[in-house]
Chain A
Amino acid sequence: AQSVSQHNHHVILSEAASLELGCNYSYGGTVNLFWYVQYPGQHLQLLLKYFSGDPLVKGIKGFEAEFIKSKFSFNLRKPSVQWSDTAEYFCAVNDGNYGQNFVFGPGTRLSVLP
């Protein structure tokens, strides 16, 4: 079965620091990759997604992620975080062959100190 791992359970940064959150998946075939964000008390929202083309994907709010197929990774980055980025971040993967069985990672909680 497909699995998704996220390297950090909780990341604490100061404002303006750079961010990189790791995500690795286990499936060896074609995949679609997503990063979702959950702000405190809110529902999950899509940050960005990759399904083909340029492996460097740009999303909302200055986030980007790079798909590295050889490493089974899809790390999320932001050059300069803000206090408002405090949230939980989830990596998700599904089978690219029209699969709908999304598998979410355990999430990484990001706390940005003002």
Chain B
Amino acid sequence: DAGVIQSPRHEVTEMGQEVTLRCKPISGHDYLFWYRQTMMRGLELLIYFNNNVPIDDSGMPEDRFSAKMPNASFSTLKIQPSEPRDSAVYFCASSLLPGTDTQYFGPGTRLTVL
């Protein structure tokens, strides 16, 4: 398996623009997670899905952030409108089982909002 795939790897955009980050989990994994990593706040869980259904979105910072998982092999994280403070590395991860299972991380998308 190719692992968790994220695109784009780097995104530079201007404040106010819409940004869409994409993730393809490992095939067969029922859980998908979106994280944000910054120097100030470390690694934060934004939202996670189970079988394409959002389970906990309490980590989503604002209404400007939204995430969808239309099918088992694809998820998006959208920021509209983007702001400079959204600059971070966004990781997607997936796992097979709840609780004890390892989360497999994608390579991340480095977002810079000017």
Partner-B contacts on A (CB < 8 A):
32, 34, 36, 42-46, 49, 51, 90, 94-107
- Alpha-carbon distance between A99 and B95 when the two chains are bound, in angstroms: 12
Given the known inter-chain contacts A43-B91, A44-B105, A45-B105, please indicate yes or no for A104 contacting B43, CB distance below 8 A: yes
Chain A proximity of B50: nearest CB distance (Å): 7
Establish whether residues A101 and B45, one from each chain, have CB atoms under 8 Å apart when the complex forms: yes
Partner-A contacts on B (CB < 8 A):
31, 33, 35, 42-45, 48, 50, 55-56, 91, 93, 95, 98-100, 102-108
Establish whether residues B48 and A100, one from each chain, have CB atoms under 8 Å apart when the complex forms: yes
A48 (CB) vs chain B CBs: closest residue: B102
Chain B proximity of A77: nearest CB distance (Å): 20
The residues of B that contact A99 with a CB separation of less than 8 Å are 98-99
Sample of 10 more A-B contacts, CB < 8 Å, known A100-B55, A104-B45: A43-B105, A44-B91, A49-B102, A90-B43, A97-B99, A100-B48, A100-B95, A102-B45, A106-B42, A107-B42
Main secondary structure, interface of B, reads strand
Q: Total number of A-B contacts with CB less than 8 angstroms?
A: 58
Establish whether residues A32 and B99, one from each chain, have CB atoms under 8 Å apart when the complex forms: yes
- Alpha-carbon distance between A90 and B93 when the two chains are bound, in angstroms: 15
14 contacts between A and B (CB under 8 A): A32-B100, A36-B105, A43-B108, A46-B103, A49-B102, A51-B100, A90-B43, A98-B99, A99-B98, A100-B48, A101-B56, A104-B42, A104-B43, A107-B43
Chain B proximity of A94: nearest CB distance (Å): 7
